[in-house]
């Protein structure tokens, strides 16, 4: 097969994988949210219920489009990997063992930094907000299906990062799978509308450093704060941390 056709076939397969991963993880955490706080996704009021159903359909539509846009640069990286042209490695002994966890952290920190600054830029300039980011904020409050609900311009603004990094920063294939898993699960759980972690964790060391639903929920209601993705230090350093939302905490998790 000619190279463009190989890439197109690869992109199509990756689109399917990303879409199924999104649908599976989102459905799982939507189900958990409904268990933890009954009524979260089925409000008693029929009008609100119909509005929510329309919102979820919209979130799924944008997210499936994002899946295709994430898959395209990933296909380029995967094709290069097959030819040995990336820094992805499969032999654990190819790098020191400490690099395994360190590489996971480096990838997440790079993603976090790019997200924080591009996210702030989209909120800072009204034109950028309207054209790129307003779609994501149509989810008020978001659901577990909002994790990839982005305008194509916003999806493209982040889709290139990991595919580019695999050409520059060595990472074991297994560690990269872990990075993608963490990215997917955190994106879904931060939008699911219910806090998964006990209050003692959220208000303790963990919640002071790691972003959970309580932190990101406040971004969706306030707009002007809590821009981070995985960690809170950028928000703290630059005075954009507004603390935590209590709306998403189910009552039974209220104890420490
Ligand atoms: Zn969000
Ligand atoms: Zn935003």
Confidence at residue 248, expressed as pLDDT on a 0 to 100 scale = 85
Summarised one tens digit per residue, pLDDT across range 76-104 is: 999 999 999 999 999 999 999 999 999 99
Taking the C-alpha atoms of residue 73 and residue 162, their distance in angstroms, rounded to an integer, is 9
Task: Give the closest ligand to the alpha carbon of residue 225.
Answer: 2
Confidence at residue 246, expressed as pLDDT on a 0 to 100 scale = 83
Instruction: Report the separation in Å between the CA atom of 164 and the middle of ligand 1, taken as the mean of its atom positions.
Output: 24
Instruction: Report the separation in Å between the CA atom of 219 and the middle of ligand 1, taken as the mean of its atom positions.
Output: 7
The structure tokens listed for 79 are 């094709």
Which of 148, 137, 15, 132 shows the shortest CA–CA distance to 73?
15
120, exposed or middle or buried, with CB in 10 Å at 0-12, 13-18, 19+?
A: middle
CA–centroid distance for 81 within its chain: 24
Alpha carbons within 13 angstroms on the beta-carbon side of residue 33 total 25
Count CB-CB contacts under 10 A for residue 42: 11
Q: Which residue has the tokens 């309580």?
A: 214
Residues of the chain with pLDDT under 50: 254-256
Which of 249, 219, 223, 222 shows the shortest CA–CA distance to 232?
219
Instruction: Report the separation in Å between the CA atom of 188 and the middle of ligand 1, taken as the mean of its atom positions.
Output: 9
Confidence at residue 255, expressed as pLDDT on a 0 to 100 scale = 45
Beta strands in the chain (DSSP E): 88-89, 171-172
Confidence at residue 213, expressed as pLDDT on a 0 to 100 scale = 94
Confidence at residue 141, expressed as pLDDT on a 0 to 100 scale = 87
Confidence at residue 247, expressed as pLDDT on a 0 to 100 scale = 83
Confidence at residue 55, expressed as pLDDT on a 0 to 100 scale = 94
């Amino acid at each position: 097969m000619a190279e463009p056709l190989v890439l197109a076939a690869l992109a199509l397969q990756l689109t399917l994988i990303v879409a199924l991963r999104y649908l599976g993880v989102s459905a799982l955490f939507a189900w958990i949210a409904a268990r933890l706080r009954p009524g979260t996704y089925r409000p008693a009021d029929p009008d609100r219920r119909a509005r929510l159903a329309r919102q979820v359909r919209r979130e799924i539509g944008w997210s499936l489009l994002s899946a295709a846009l994430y898959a395209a640069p990933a296909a380029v990286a995967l094709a290069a990997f097959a030819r040995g042209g990336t820094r992805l490695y499969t032999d654990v002994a190819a790098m020191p063992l400490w690099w395994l966890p360190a590489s996971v952290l480096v990838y997440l920190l790079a993603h976090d930094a790019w997200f924080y600054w591009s996210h702030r830029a989209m909120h800072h300039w009204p034109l950028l907000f309207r054209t790129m980011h307003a779609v994501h904020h149509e989810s008020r409050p978001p659901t577990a299906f909002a994790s990839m609900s982005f305008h194509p311009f916003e999806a493209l603004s982040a889709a290139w990062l990991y595919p580019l990094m695999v050409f520059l920063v060595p990472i074991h294939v297994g560690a990269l799978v872990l990075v993608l898993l963490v990215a997917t699960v955190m994106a879904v759980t931060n939008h699911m509308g219910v806090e998964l972690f006990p209050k003692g964790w959220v208000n303790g060391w963990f919640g002071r450093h790691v972003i959970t639903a309580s932190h990101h929920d406040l971004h969706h209601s306030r707009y002007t704060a809590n821009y981070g993705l995985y960690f809170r230090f950028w928000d703290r350093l630059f005075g954009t941390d507004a603390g935590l939302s209590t709306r998403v905490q189910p009552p039974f998790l209220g104890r420490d």
